[in-house]
Structure 1
Amino acid sequence: MQALKSPMIRSIWYIIWLILVIISQQMEQLCLNAKGLDSVRVVFFLIIAILTLLFMLQRYQHEQHYFKTVNTSLSQGLTEFFGLVVFILVAIGCFMIIISYLKARGYFPHLVNRTDYLDRGSLAFWFDLLASALLISLEQQFVTIGFFFNYFFRRNSLIGALVAILISGLIFGALNMESWHLINFFIYTAIGLMLATMYLATQNLRICMFMSVFVAIMKVILI
């Protein structure tokens, strides 16, 4: 028996995953208030976010038995594509530092920091770092790469790969927008394009997840 054989079923599952990620992101923001953290909301968020991530992991591992065509281990992916991984890591880091610098200089007045940690305290910073880097960023990778490529782009073709990279980047950009502004959308779409490219090259979701954690940490600290 084939899992998720019907295109409609694949679409429904993908909408469910996408909604769960959006809920996690919105709940994380609700945990932060003017005084710092709302402890009740934090507990509720952690429960929902962790359960969502575990559910995604379990479902992804189950579906890989039906969808996976290339078995690339983490060490193999890092070894064979070490140059690409390092290049994308440095490119993303430099890109985010440059954007942060231009933002600090006032070139992007529409971009504002999500959280003023001087007013809300260090606890808010560490919560935002934990929630963004270790929970939400991993959920996003399942949606923008893991389930996305499993459900919609499994054929080996150049055009299909280019379309998949573009759409994956656009979804990543939309999920990470901090304000409704074109520059904000472009920043994270560009990062999403690089992550999707790396996934298609390495065929290893864990590498993209590690990279996404790096992006989330930079996002909290810099942008």
Structure 2
Amino acid sequence: MSMKPIEFDRRYGELDQVLSAYVGRSADDTAEEPSEALQAYLRHTWHTRPWAVGVAEQQVREYARNPPGRLRLRLGEFYPVPDVGLPEAEIQEWLLLVADHLKRSIEEGAVPPPSAPRTHWEWRVRFPELAQFLGGWFSQDMPDEFPDHDAAVRDYAESTHPQLVSRLVGELNELLALHLDDAAYAVGLAELGMEVDPPAPFTPSAWLALVADHLAAPRADYGPPADPRG
């Protein structure tokens, strides 16, 4: 039978984070240089959960040293490595190379400097609520569901817990603080799930700033309606 979630997290939770960073990317790590996918994992994790890099090294190395057989994979007792574009015979050697890069990063204190996200995975893990907002309210179906962009923003604000709205405001301000050009912001919006253009005449950055201001404004709370009987 499949392992329980707590057992999976203890044995493979951080391994899964590392390998998720490779989805849609090339596993082209070399002995001299980690791949763009692994650099994205290191950059994000060092600046958010630095302790997890050591956990990742341990889990990746242990999995590489003790690869599962087909039967145990079929029974769900082991983590199945996703397709990273490598022949099965090369997976073990590649995992050990990844573990070596993680170990070297820890031992040498090689913390990647902060930067704008560079991969799809990095955009999503750095701005999770913004991805939820854009992917859920500004997909290609948005024009059929709302009369305009403002209506979609209002619907999000009215249907989402205030703490999540506040989190989104923080993520919007963090994104704007990167001071990217509008071409880069357009790429970021697409990576985060937005499938429609910002409303005219706004540029991507101007629209993001407008949304942040709108959602940061305090909501009016007039209390319960008055009893008509007095």
TM-score by length of 1: 0.24
Q: In proportion to residue count, which structure has more helix?
A: 1
**Higher alpha-carbon Rg:** 2
Structure of higher RCO (CA pairs closer than 8 Å, 6+ residues apart)? 1
